[in-house]
Amino acid sequence: MNESTTLRRLKTIEGHLKGVIRMVEEDAYCIDVIRQIQAVESALNKVSAGILDEHLNSCVITAIQGDDPKERERVLKEISEVFEMANKV
């Protein structure tokens, strides 16, 4: 996922989130609000997955193929931490 695609998707999500805020301000039906929040979460997860894929296929591969064992260890630790945080949410 390239930077322009990521930005375009994030701006779309921003607009969707503003719609959710409007729904809350207008006292919309709770289940409708929850469904829209879930749609925003799903869209953010897709963007996050795209960024992670890009990172794995660039920064991580470069570090693993490099000569610096500390750099390899650092990027692998980062990936582990990302997945740990994702499981806490």
pLDDT at position 89 is 65
Question: Which H, E and C letters describe the chain, residue by residue?
Answer: CCHHHHHHHHHHHHHHHHHHHHHHHCCCCHHHHHHHHHHHHHHHHHHHHHHHHHHHHHHHHHHHHCCCHHHHHHHHHHHHHHHHHHHHC
Q: Which domain holds residue 84?
A: 3-88
How sure is the predictor about 4, in pLDDT bands with cuts at 50, 70 and 90? very high
- Kindly report, residue by residue over 8-67, the tens digit of the pLDDT: 999 999 999 999 999 999 999 999 999 999 999 999 999 999 999 999 999 999 999 999
Q: Which residues contact 82 (CB under 8 A, 6 or more apart)?
A: 52
Determine the average pLDDT of the residues in 67-75.
94
Domains contained in the chain, number: 1
CATH number of the domain residue 63 falls in: 1.20.58.1000
Q: How far apart are CA 25 and CA 42, in angstroms?
A: 22
pLDDT at position 87 is 83
